[in-house]
Amino acid sequence: MSALTPNQVQTIKATVPVLAQHGTTITSRFYHDMLEAHPELKNIFNNTHQATGHQAQALAGALYAYANNIDDLGKLSPAVELICHKHASLYIRADQYAIVGKHLIETMKAVLGDAATPEILEAWGAAYWQLANIMIGREDQLYRETSYWPDWKDFTIVKKVKESDEITSFYLEPVDANLRLPNFKPGQYISVNVFVDELDGGMWQARQYSLSDAPGKKHLRLSIKKEPGIEIGEPKHMTHAGYISNLMHEKKNEGDVVKLSHPFGDFFLEEDDEKDAPVVLIAAGVGLTALTSIFNSLITEKSSRPITWIHGARNTKTRAFKQHYDQCATENENVHAVYYSSSPVEGEVQGQHYDIEGRVDLDKIDRSYLHTDNDKTRYYACGPLRFMLDVEAKLKSYGVPSERVKMELYGTGGVPRV
C-alpha cells in the first residue's frame, strides 16, 4: 500500500484527542469482538492481560503514540522493534494482520458512531496497513534469520532447581536431539507455550521468560518467579497475574515436555568495539534473570571489563543466585557485587547477607562502582517499571546519557522513556 497522503496524515493527527478520550473503550471492544469471531486467536493472546485490561490499555497507548507521531515514525522505531520481537516469539503470521485490521476499523466505527466519518475510517485503514506492512516485513526478517526453528519446539524439563522461596530454574533440552540450540544474545527471552485445560475447554497459553544463563550450553535455562496468592483450581485463578508461572512451579516437573519458541528480544548485551567498557547491571527482584544471562556470558568469556552487579530483593529468602555472584566476585578482581535488602529477616547480617538496607538507591553506592566517570560505561536495568525509571533518572542526574542505558520491562507494552 502506498504512503499516506498529506490529508490522511492530518486526519490521523486530528484524531489524537479522540484516542486520548476513547482509546481504551475502542481497544477493549476490539479484543472482545475479534476473539469472539476468531476464538482460535485466544491461543495467542495472554488471557490474564485480557481479563485485567492490560492488553487493551497497551494497545490504546500504542495507537495514541502512532497517531501522535504519524508524520515522524522514526520516533516509534524502538517500540516497533520490541513489538516485532514479541510477535515473532509467538509466531504471529502475516495473514493475522488482516483479521486485526478489519476488526479495529469496525470497532472504531461502532464506538465513535457518526464521528467516525468515511474520511477518518479510510485514513485509519491506510495508516493501519502502513504500520502493519512495516511490522510484517521486520517479522519476516526475524523468521528468515531463525528459519531452522519455524514453529514451536518440544523441550523436556531435565532439571528443576529451587533458587529461592520464589524463583525456580528450569533446565530444558530439545526432544529432537538434532535441533541445534541457538547462540542467542545474552538478555533475550523465549516463549513457553503450555496447554491449559481449564480455559474455555482447553487452550494454549504462551508466556515470555528471560533466559537466565549464558549461551553455548546443551540446555536452555529459565528462572521463573512464582507469583504469590494464587491457588491452582480456584475459580478465578486463570485471570491472576502469574497464573502460568504458578502452573510451571506446581504442575511441571522433571521429565515433562513444554513447547518453546526460538529466543528473541531487543534487550541484550551490546556487541560493540569498546571491549574495555565497564558494564553495570542493575536488577530488582526477578529482573535479575535477563541480567544473569549477561553476567554469566561475560564471566564465561573471561572478560576483563569492570563488571558491577547490583541487586535489590526483600531479603535472603527471596534472593536468587547470591552464592554464584559472590563466587564470581571472589574469583575475578574485575567483578564487584552490591546487594540491597528492603526487608531483612531475623538472622540476616549486614555486610554478610546484604550490603545496604532499603530499596535500590544508587546514591548509597560508592560511585567508583558505577563508573560514571567513564563515558564508555554501559548500564543495563531490569525490574518493575517505577524501579527502572528511577534508575534511569538517577543515572541521568549523574550525567549518563540515555543511549548508554538499556532497560527491559516485563509485561505488556514497553518502557516509556522520558
From 66, 97, 379, 380, active-site residue: 97
Tell me which residue has cell 521429565: 255
Closest CA to 304 of 329, 332, 330, 338: 332
Rounded Cα distance between 198 and 242, Å, is 15
For residue 252, give the C-alpha cell. 511441571
Rg of the Cα trace of the chain? 23
Please, are residues 374 and 277 in contact by the beta-carbon 8 Å criterion? yes
From 91, 139, 325, 379, active-site residue: 139
DSSP string computed for 114-125: GGS-HHHHHHHH
Please, are residues 332 and 299 in contact by the beta-carbon 8 Å criterion? yes
Rounded Cα distance between 163 and 292, Å, is 13
Task: Tell me, rounded to whole angstroms, the distance of Cα 10 from its chain centroid.
Answer: 33
Active site residue 97: yes
Closest CA to 253 of 163, 152, 171: 171
Distances (CA, A) of 23 to 278, 318, 328, 393, 418: 43, 39, 49, 29, 22
Rounded Cα distance between 30 and 95, Å, is 18
3-state DSSP call for residue 216?
coil
Strand-pair partners of 408: 382
DSSP string computed for 153-213: EEEEEEEEEE-SSSEEEEEEEESSTTPPPP-PPTT-EEEEEEEETTSTT-EEEEEEEEB-S
Rounded Cα distance between 107 and 113, Å, is 10
Active site residue 379: no
The set of catalytic residues is: 97, 139
